[in-house]
Each structure stands twice: as C-alpha cells, then as structure tokens.
Structure 1
Amino acid sequence: MTFNRFLGRALSLTLLTLGAVAILLPFIWMLSLAFKPQDEIFSASIQLLPSSIEWRNFVVALTETDVPRYLLNGLIVVFGILAFQILFSVPCAFALTQRRFAGRTLIFGMVLAALLVPFHVTAIPIFLGFAQLGLLNSYWALILPFIPTAFGIFLFRQFLAQVPAELFDAARVDGLSETAIVWRIAFPLALPAATAFAIFSITAHWNDLFWPLIATTDPHLATPPRGILFFRDEESGNDVGALMAATVLITAPLVLAFLFAQRKFPQGLATGGLKG
C-alpha cells in the first residue's frame, strides 16, 4: 500500500468517525441524562458518565406518566399503517409488473410523480375532509392518510419486475387465482423488499409529529413524539431525567428493530434496484 493511498484511507476514516460522533453525540447525551441523578444533570461541569445509575427516572416515566400509553398508540398506528400499506401496495405492484392492460405505463408514471409530492402539500385537504367526516381525534385519522403509498408501490414493483414471468405463468397453469399468486408466491419472494419497506414505514410514522399534531388533540391518542410534548409541558416540569428516560424508551424500539433487521435491509434495497 502506497503512502498516498494509506493517507487517503486514514483521512476518510477520520472524517467518517467525526461524522458518526457528531450524529451520535445527542443520543449519547440523552442516555447520559436519562441515567443521571437530578443534581448531576444541572451540574456546572460536563460529565458524560453518571456517578451512579438513577433508575428512578425510568420508574417515573413508566409509572407516573402516560408514556406506556404513548408507546401503545405508536404500535397501533405504525403497524396499522404498515399492514394496510402492504395489503394494497403488493397487489398494485404485481399488476404493474405481471399484467398487461391499457394505461399501465401512465399509471406507473403517476406513481413516480406522486413520489415528488410531499405529504405536507395534501395535509390541509385531508384535514378538512376528515373534519367533515368526523374522523379527527381517532386512530383512523392517524392511519388512513398513509395507506396509499407511492414509495411502497414503487419499491415492490421494482423488486417484482426482476421475477421471471414464467414462474407466475406456471402457477396459473396449476390453477392458482391471481390473488393466490400474489400472496402465496409474489409476496414471499418479495420479503426482503418488504423488510426494507417496513423499516422505512415504521421509522417515518413512529417519528412523525406533524400529522398527529394536526389530526389529534386527545392526549389518550398521542403517538410517541406527540406524547413527549404532553409529557414535557404538563408532567415533567424540571424533571429532565425522567423526560430523557421517556425519550430513551420511545427511541429504543426503533434502534432494536433496525438491529434485528439490518441484514435484510440492504438486501431488500439492493435486490429492489432500479430495473425498468
């Protein structure tokens, strides 16, 4: 290895390390505060490691606040959204790749165009429609707007486009219906793409504050980010340790989910590449 090549690698590694530290520093500080006693949190000196672990912060967050309710709401919303998204996006993607019909290219073009439209553009019309239908302040208000997913259709379409059509033709010869082909053959083959999509979907909607802030005012329907606002405003006061403990409890499920799915995640993105 030449000196210039070694220097280039060392510089790249240094820059990556500095970037990782800059990104992780807020999370490390959050963990530090979550385990610190109250007197150390407001200490004039900066001390990353607590002198003693203060489990009281987590006990307060779990027993004296509504954080468990916020976590339950988050699970209901994100898995409700994910279930409906897969239910509709997989058949749509299958039809766009394995069926021939008039306007197929136009429909796929509309899917691509929908990827360019941020949700915030449609938020006000959706809010007004839900207000007319009386759906605000309900789980449906948090789930329904995200069921149509252009990204999900696109990702599954790109994955299924790589599956040989002969495989599905053989299933039709064996007498399987189109619905059975979708869920018994196409979907199992697309599980890597489904894993990648699930990570994107769960992360986005678990962390979403914009829509729950608009669609709900009932604290009992608050999702985790919305619940943290209630916790901070009404319950925590100066108890920063409990607030940080609640934040750790809300962040931990996403970290654990990604760690368990990290092998499938790049595989789903790679195999669902940009094939036309």
Structure 2
Amino acid sequence: MSRRPTRRFSVARAFRLAILIFFAALFLAPYAFMLSTAGKPQSEIFSATLNLFPQTVSYAENFARALSRIDIGRLLVNGVIVCAAIFVVQVLVAIPCAYAMAKLRFGAARVMMVMVLLGLLVPIHATALPIYVGFANVGLLNSYTALVAPFTISVFGIFLFLQFFRALPDDLIHAARMDGMGDLGIIARVVVPNAWPAVTAFAIFSVVAHWNDLYWPLIVTSDQAYATPPLGLLYFRAAESGDDYGALMAATLMITLPLVALFLLAQRKFVEGITMTGLKG
C-alpha cells in the first residue's frame, strides 16, 4: 500500500509553490505591462484607471506606427550580426584557453587563473574611454568592428568553460593522445562535442547581454545604419514620439521576442550547462 502524503509535506510543498509563483509573477510583470500597453490606444494608456487588458484593442495601429517610425528589420539584423560575431569569436578564444588551464600542466596556470578572476571584476565602463579614443584615432567608429572588438575576449566565458572542462574525465584526453591527436584535434573532436551544454549556456548569457547593451553602442555609434536594438528604441523616442507609448511598447515587444524564443529553444541545454559547470572532476 502506498503512503498518503502527510499534511506537513503538503503544506510545505504548497508554500514552496506559492513562493515560486510569487517571484515568477514579479519577474513577468514588466512583460505583461509591455504586452498590455502595446495593445492600448493613447487615450487609454493615460487614463486614470489602470486596466491590464485593453478596453479597445489597438495592436494593429501601434505595430503599424512602430514599423513606420523606425526600421525594425535593420535593428534586428544589426543585433544578430553583432551578437553572432561576438559569440563566435568569444567561443573560439575561450574554449582553447579554458582547455589549457583545465587539462594542461604548465607553470603559469595559477597566474592565468588569477588573471581570469581579476578580469571578472573589471567592467566595460572602466575601459570605455581609452578604447573609444583608440577607435577614434584609427577611424573605426560607426562600424561593426567598434561594436564587436571590445567583447571578443570573455573572461566569464573562459571561467565558465574552465569549470565545465574540469568535470571531463582525464581518461578521454589520454585516450585521444594515445590515438595520435594533438591538442587542437582533442579540442575539436573530443572537448567541443562534449561541451555543447556549456556552449549553449554561454550563448544565452552572451547574446542576452550584448543584445540588450545600450551603453557601448551609444558611445561608438551615431549612424542609424549600425544601430543595435536598444539604441534603435532610443532613436524611436527621440524622433518626436516619446509620448507614443503604445507604438514604443510595440517596438519593444518586437525586439524582445527573439530573445524569448531563443531561451525557450535552448532552455533544456541551458539548465544542463549551468548544472554541469558546478561539478568537479
């Protein structure tokens, strides 16, 4: 006979679920507000009463105004180009560095680990001015290079892959060496195929961070042809439409949806990668 759950267990479980639901609602509230405002006419947005659901549905009008005010397609293309270029170069740099620190034995390994940890403490704001001056001197402002180059080395990515590679069995590396593989062959044919959960987790972190970044594009870009999605929204509000919150929320919704879709598609690998990076071999 199976035991019936005790009252204590049921109350504890209900309490945990209530806490989770509360924080989920708290984090989803801005998105619900954005979705609601994107479908309201101007008069209803500034009304004295607050309604979550639009009384007069105006999604078509707001989306049409948003598409006419800014080039959403160009913003999305720029965002994809910048985020993809940053992510690809970050992975190409971070994986060999993390592999060397995790699986190779050399004297400077501890020093490199300290440098990586120190690098995590340095924000982009501390180095923005000298980098900007350097790009200005060589004429690289208003270009994809200026948007991508400062982020091609990710100390966070190195640290994340380092923790993941430490959990890989050393026997895999030794077996690959016995088969005649060099370090580059081991990285390409052994390490990377086993590192897809970590790569996926890092992809979510990298893409979300740089897709939503406003600080650096605002500094190095004044040409709307190179505007990233957050910078495009700033242009949208500056184009004499700051009070048109319905169209602004519609544009924000179109820019946010790709990130939501990306996370939903990669959710399983993301959780797996974050979980496995905490294991030590």
AA partner of residue 190 (structure 1): A
Query: What stretches of structure 2 of length at least 5 have no aligned partner?
Result: none
Distance across 1 between alignment mates of 2:123 and 2:9: 43
Q: Offset at 1:133?
A: 2.2
Q: Which residue of 2 aligns with 1:27?
A: 31
Once residues 88 and 163 of structure 1 are traced to their aligned partners in structure 2, the CA distance between those partners, rounded to angstroms, is: 19
Q: Answer yes or no: is the 8 Å Cα contact 1:33–1:244 preserved in 2.
A: yes
Q: 1:131-176: per-residue Cα shift (whole Å, max 9, x none)?
A: 2222222111111111111111111111111212222232233233
Instruction: Tell me which of 60, 64, 73 is aligned to 1:55.
Output: 60
The aligned counterpart of 1:80 is: 85
Letter of the structure 1 residue corresponding to residue 157 of structure 2:
G
Once the two structures are overlaid, the 10-residue window that deviates more, 186-195 or 55-64, is 55-64
Cα distance in 2, alignment partners of residues 167 and 250 from structure 1? 43
Provide closer, same or farther for how the CA distance between residues 164 and 23 of structure 1 changes in structure 2, counting only shifts above 3 A. Answer: closer
2: CA distance, partners of 1:176 / 1:59: 57
Correspondence 1:130 to 2:135: yes
The answer for the alignment partner of 2:149 in structure 1 is 144
Task: Check the 8 A contact 2:167/2:279 in 1, yes or no.
Answer: no
Counterpart for residue 226 of structure 1: 231
Query: Which of 18, 21, 41 pairs up with 2:22?
Result: 18
- Superimposed CA distance per residue, residues 34-55 of structure 1 (whole angstroms, 9 cap, x where no aligned partner): 1223333233322221233531
Deviation at 1:11, TM superposition (A): 4.0
Q: Does 1:251 align with 2:256?
A: yes
> Map of 1:94-105 to 2, 5 A cutoff?
94-105=99-110
Task: Compute the displacement of 1:115 (Å).
Answer: 1.2
Give the Cα separation in 2 of the matches to 1:65 and 1:136: 22
Secondary structure of the corresponding residue to residue 65 of structure 2: helix
| 8 A contact 1:65–1:235 mirrored in 2 | no
Deviates more, 1:60-69 or 1:138-147: 60-69
CA distance in 1, matches of 2:107, 2:26: 51
Q: Deviations over 1:96-125 (max 9, x none)?
A: 122222211111121112112222212222
What letter matches 2:63 in structure 1? F
Q: Does residue 156 of structure 1 match 2:161?
A: yes
Query: Aligned partners of 2:224, 2:181: CA distance in 1, in Å?
Result: 48
| Aligned equivalents of 2:91, 2:153: Cα separation in 1 | 10
Per the TM alignment, residue 6 of structure 1 is displaced from its structure 2 partner at its CA by 4.7
**Alignment correspondent of 2:221:** 216
Q: Give per-residue Cα distances to partners, 1:54-109, cap 9 Å, x unaligned.
A: 31222332344222211111111111100000011111111112222221111112
Identity level (%): 52
Measure the CA separation in 1 of the matches of 2:174 and 2:9.
Answer: 52
Give me the TM-score of the superposition, normalised by structure 1.
0.92
| CA–CA separation in structure 1 for the residues paired with 2:247 and 2:24 | 27
Code of the aligned partner of 1:26: P
Shift of 1:5: 5.3
Query: Which AA in structure 2 matches 1:21?
Result: A
Q: 1:24 is matched by which residue type in structure 2?
A: L
CA distance change for structure 1 residues 46 and 189 in 2, over 3 Å: closer, same or farther?
same
**C-alpha distance in structure 1 between counterparts of 2:273 and 2:187, whole Å:** 18
The answer to whether structure 1 residue 240 and structure 2 residue 245 are counterparts is: yes
Q: Deviations over 1:176-217 (max 9, x none)?
A: 332222122211110000000000000111111111111111
1:223-272, CA deviations, whole angstroms, 9 ceiling, x for partnerless residues? 11111000011153433211111000111111111111111111101111
